[in-house]
Amino acid sequence: MHTANSQLFYPLRGAFYLSSKSGFANFKVSSNIRQMFMGIAIKTTELYLRDRQRRMLCDGLFLQAAPGTLTAIMGPCGCGKSVFLRLLTGYERPTQGRIFFGSSELWANYAHVRDIIGYVPQAEVMIPELLVAESLDYRLRFRFSKRTVEERHQQIRDTCALLGLGNLDSLLAKRVGLPEWRGEYPSGGERRRINIAHEILSQPQVLFMDEPTSGLASIEADALVKHIRELAHHQGIPVVMTIHSPSRDTFECFHDMMVMGMGGVMAYYGKREKAAEYFERTTPIAFQGDNPAEYIMRCVSNEPHAGREAALRLQQSRHRPGFEYLIQPWESAEIAPVLSTEALPQ
């Protein structure tokens, strides 16, 4: 947003930075001003997608993600987690269903809405020969061409710090490299955070991540997800990520949890801390107090039709007392009154 005196505001770490010819300063702003730039919620109706062979790839999945929250989408390999993300980000168009970011429908306003969506794919998209600082700076220059060198460098350092990257002088001077390269290159965990930093620098108001912990050791994955949760909180944006089988510590970082079954069906969607309890109440498989994520995966993967049966149980449970923690589908009839209270920043 440009003001009359060519000052530029951008949000980072729960505050706003003011950049101008006079320098770079950090100051707090009122919650009303912050809400003008942040606070975009994601809401969808039930989404359906079939391929050319009429196979169902997404069978009634939906999402409701509030600002400042971290939502995990978990399920067995091949269940359609990445397909669902592609629908939410506009890379694929659903056969049926509607997707809203604030008051703007994705496909009715795609040219505008796509600018607020951040997406971190599972595959890293960085040029290995560049220095880390060069790679991040190119990203900023491409997105915000009018920012000064000092402004860009400060934003890069603040974004890296927000993601838990330390020893920045040394890290930024290293070449990005590739995972198989040996020598003075960023570690696997550092590379993942650098990859995420490229997307954070574009200042998305919603952020999607496809398997950001894939290939990382458990300790590195735990640390990364903790920083992603802090990012959602400090930036005031909804973050949605897919994950296959998180550790207990990683599992406890999520606010909401969606569990998918094979065939693109929804087996659970509600509060993360209630997920294991839900499956213990609705399946014959007992929870032994181990990693909740491993227990849940057993419940939806123990037999060929487990996912489909879990989806049916979920539909029935939504209408029963004692399951108020389950997130309900957003019906088309609810769209008008809800949207009247939310506005997408122009």
Amino acid at 245: S
Cα–Cα dist 191/189, whole Å: 5
The answer regarding whether domain 42-121+244-339 maps to CATH 3.30.1150 reads: no
pLDDT by residue, tens only, the chain of 346 residues? 333 333 333 344 333 333 333 333 333 333 433 343 357 899 999 999 998 888 899 999 999 999 999 999 999 988 999 999 999 999 999 999 999 998 899 999 898 898 899 999 988 889 999 999 999 999 999 888 889 999 999 999 999 998 889 899 999 999 998 877 878 889 888 988 999 999 999 999 999 999 999 888 889 899 999 999 999 998 899 999 999 889 999 999 999 999 999 999 999 999 999 999 999 999 999 998 889 999 999 999 877 778 888 899 999 999 899 999 999 887 654 554 444 334 333 3
CA dist list (Å): 292 to 181, 207, 260, 268, 287: 36, 25, 15, 13, 8
**Per-domain residue ranges for the chain?**
1-35, 42-121+244-339
CA torsion sign, 146 to 151 to 153 to 155? negative
